[in-house]
Amino acid sequence: MPIEFDPQRLPHLPGALGALLFVVGLALALGAAFLPGSLMRVLPVAQSSGANALLALALLGAAAGLQPYRRFLCADVLALAAAALALLPLVQAMTALYPADGPWRLLLETRKAPGEAGFWPGRMSPSSSLGLLIAAACVYYLRRLRGARGVKVWLGMLTVLFAGGMVGVLGQWLDVPLLIGAAGDAVGTASGTALALLVLVLVLFRLAVGTPSIIAYFDGRPDRSVFALSAVGLLATLVVGGMLTGGLMAGVGLEGYRQALAESLRTHLLLAEAELREAGRITDEAHRRAEAGVPDWFVVPDAVAGGRGASVAVRIEPPAASASRAGGLRLPLSDRDGISLAMRGGWLIEGRRALNGGRGDLVVEMPFSAFDLLAERVAALGRSGELVVCGRQAAGGAEQCFPTRRIVHAFERDLVQARKAEPTPMARALGGESGVSEVRDYRQHRVMAAYAPLTGKVAAVLKVDVVELQAPLRQALWAGVVLVAVVALLGGAVVYRHVRPLILRLSRTERALNRAQAVAQVGSWYANARSRRIVWSDETYRIFAVPPGTQISHDVFMQAVHPDDRARVDAAWQRALGGAPYDIEHRILAGGQVRWVRERAELAFDASGAMVGATGTVEDVTERKAREAELLGSRQKLRDLAAYHEKLREEERTHIAREIHDELGQHLTALRMDAALLQLNYGEGNPGLAQKVSAMKKLIDRTIKVVRGVASSLRPAALDLGLASAAEWLVGEFRARSGVECTLELPGHEPALDDARATVVFRILQESLTNITRHAAASRVDIRIAELDGRLRLEVRDDGVGFDPAEVRERKTFGLMGIRERAMMFGGSASFISRPGEGTRLQVEMPLGEDHSRSDR
């Protein structure tokens, strides 16, 4: 569910918990149906759940666990079967059709018989039936949800199921059940059933996380998430707090009942001891008179019976009647005086003495008012009050118990004790102990039991259900539950009303930010140093081609970095930990593709200098890198084309220079020779002709000089002799033309340059001297040509006016640009160092051969 929960987290949780619920529920259900005594002794906590409820929980666990594996048909069948099991007890309650107890308790509710050997106290209460029906509906309709209304109804059912489970678990744990039936029995959800329902709520919540309808309902609506979480959170908090408070109050309140119950039993047992002594004295007196032949031995005077003579019955049973007598249970109170305890409509004390001469037994019966008063005290305690009296009829025989308000016949105490792992209060009393304890009785109801021995052979237990003692507290708790529900709803509404505008504004801002990041292709991230987790934005997930919601750590990020760049990225991060800026471009592997990203981050440190967190951005620069590569390729192609054109131009210059020098020079030379011959042959006799021919010769000389100058400007002849000779010629021409002092430093040998590179270096030197002549106003120029590590270095330094490189760069002067481009055509570089008023220095480096790589910087 998009309430800040990762849809990919714990994908196997529903299957695992569903399987666990199925296995445990089925095993307990079968044990409750066929081996109730063993299960009650081994696992007492399961005694409050009905076998049919456990089977229904097992079916629901299997149905929910099959959902992730798309076994929808089987899941639907199991959910409907669980719903049928939950519905049957409600139908039985309306029709009052309950079969006798037996193994069919696996499917139906049965008539409970606590005194029978196969008794199982657990049952499916109405609240358990309702909870199981809601759980079955949640499982069945989960994948059938359509629209916002269906989602709301489903979430409401899940919330009710969660609240019911919480109340059931806390109520049973704190022993303060809220739901009590008309008979005083707790009808709330049993603790085991409630705990299983909470597990089922967790499974359903995890299943709902990936459901399209649930995702659509919460997608883009964080206000709904806030309302749901606040209401459920407040409800859970208040329920837990209220139940814990009620549990503490219950403990304090029950302490008074504990003391009153113990005092009542102790008082009545003291009265019972006095009555037993009185019964023994009356029996002895009646026996003495019968043996002495006193005629009124069967009439007990009030003086002898303490004023109760009319209620004492005396008779003689013949030997045959004594031997064959039958009737209700009689428990001897001692081995010597023949006093027994019996019940016939009320409690009786029976005294028996054998008469001499084989005449039979003298029997004295008198009411046991102490136990009658105790029975009245039990009735005053409530409908659940019960007096249990047990003892042993004969040495070595089984311990027998008198009928109680719920068990209408005498029964063997061992049947109850066999279901308990610990001694029962009756077992403790028969062992000579006395006290008060809160235990589960044979019905698996929590009772407060006061126990004490009457004599060495008979003991009494006075008990009452705790739920009946807690009636006032339960009423207060119900009022608290209603108040809790109202407060939770009001609190959720208040939070919804006041927080909703902020949440919606934040949601709109977040959506706008996500759209802006998507348009700019810039993602963001945050790293927590303590948890070592990294939180990515949606755009960051898209850039790295990782499913949204995937847990990110530094190791996961490094796995996405291109293997060739990991060392560089790690080194940049280590420098950032030392305080350096983190700004790096590197490659990543995203969905099988290589992408370029630019990462920038700001790190936060604590007072000790340890990093506590980092916030950064990730920009997808793949397209920019592609355009840069394309631009660099185009630029290199342009340089190659310019170099090719420069080569063609130099070749054309060389060709033109040679044509001018060879052809035009020869023709001009021949023309001058002809003019000289014309002057020699005809000039002496014709002064005007001689003068004209002399002028022609001067014009021809000037033309020859111009031709030589044009040829030299196109390609100096000295360049054919090498770069050093051409540089010396160029420097000489510069001195002669500008009058500026110029020095030239050459290497000890001719640089090993091919013609193209030598021409480029010559042209760069020529352009730099031209710029100095035009702009520098320098008085001195120093030129140095050297070889270093397979590269040629040209340095031209002047003491002129200098310039601002940034200003010249903005003007895009073609002279400096031409120098730089000429150097870069052959993998070289050119740099200018200048300041206004401080002169200029030009540095050019160029590889000597073709094997040196080119650079664009």
387's tokens: 């007096």
Q: Is the pLDDT of residue 404 over 90?
A: no
Residue 670 lies in a domain: no
pLDDT at res. 80: 92
Alpha carbon distance 238, 254 (integer Å): 24
Residue 506 lies in a domain: no
Residue pair 346/367 in contact by the 8 Å Cβ criterion = yes
Give the list of residues 6+ apart from residue 25 with CB closer than 8 angstroms, or none: 54, 55, 57, 58, 59, 61, 196
According to DSSP, the β-strands at 741-745 and 780-788 are parallel
pLDDT at res. 852: 42
Residue pair 371/387 in contact by the 8 Å Cβ criterion = yes
What is the residue range of 794's domain? 721-857
pLDDT at res. 22: 92
176 and 276 together in one domain: no
Alpha carbon distance 733, 283 (integer Å): 162
202 and 265 together in one domain: no
Q: DSSP letter at 98? A: -
pLDDT digits (tens, 9 = 90+) for 476-523: 666 766 776 677 667 667 766 776 676 667 667 777 777 777 777 788
The angle, 0 to 180 degrees and rounded to 10, between the axes of the packed helices 72-95 and 51-66 is 160
**Alpha-carbon dihedral 509, 515, 516, 520, rounded to 10 degrees:** 160
Q: Of 169, 191, 207, which marks where a domain is finished?
A: 207
Give the list of residues 6+ apart from residue 500 with CB closer than 8 angstroms, or none: 223, 226, 227
Alpha carbon distance 697, 340 (integer Å): 174
Domain CATH code at residue 765: 3.30.565.10
Q: Which long-range contacts (CB under 8 A, 24 or more apart) does 679-686 make?
A: none
Question: How many domains does the chain divide into?
Answer: 4
461 and 561 together in one domain: no
178 and 266 together in one domain: no
- Mapping DSSP to helix (H, G, I), strand (E, B) and coil, where does residue 725 land? helix
Residue 228 lies in a domain: no
pLDDT at res. 251: 58
The string of DSSP letters for 5-68 reads --TTSSTTHHHHHHHHHHHHHHHHHHHHHH-HHHHHHH-GGGGGB-HHHHHHHHHHHHHHHHGG
According to DSSP, the β-strands at 829-834 and 611-620 are unpaired
Domain CATH code at residue 534: 3.30.450.20
- For 327, list phi and psi in degrees, rounded to 5: 150, -155
275 and 184 together in one domain: no
Residue 650 lies in a domain: no
The string of DSSP letters for 440-475 reads E-TTS-EEEEEEEESSSSEEEEEEEEHHHHTHHHHH
The angle, 0 to 180 degrees and rounded to 10, between the axes of the packed helices 51-66 and 191-209 is 10
What number of CA atoms fall less than 13 Å from residue 640's CA on the CB side? 7
Cα 426 to its chain centre, rounded Å, is 52
pLDDT band at 183 (very low <50, low <70, confident <90, very high): very low
Instruction: Tell me the chain's radius of gyration from C-alpha atoms.
Output: 56
Residue 457 lies in a domain: yes
Residue pair 229/2 in contact by the 8 Å Cβ criterion = no
311 and 420 together in one domain: yes
Residue pair 27/33 in contact by the 8 Å Cβ criterion = no
Residue ranges of alpha helices (H) inside 579-686 are: 622-659, 665-682
pLDDT band at 148 (very low <50, low <70, confident <90, very high): confident
pLDDT at res. 326: 47
Percentage, residues of the chain above pLDDT 70? 79
Give the list of residues 6+ apart from residue 801 with CB closer than 8 angstroms, or none: 775, 776, 777, 836, 837, 839
Residue 395 lies in a domain: yes
Residue 247 lies in a domain: no
Residue 431 lies in a domain: yes
415 and 302 together in one domain: yes
176 and 262 together in one domain: no
262 and 202 together in one domain: no
20 and 111 together in one domain: yes
Residue pair 350/327 in contact by the 8 Å Cβ criterion = no
283 and 362 together in one domain: yes
Q: Of 469, 499, 532, which marks where a domain is finished?
A: 469
pLDDT at res. 189: 74
450 and 534 together in one domain: no
pLDDT at res. 134: 92
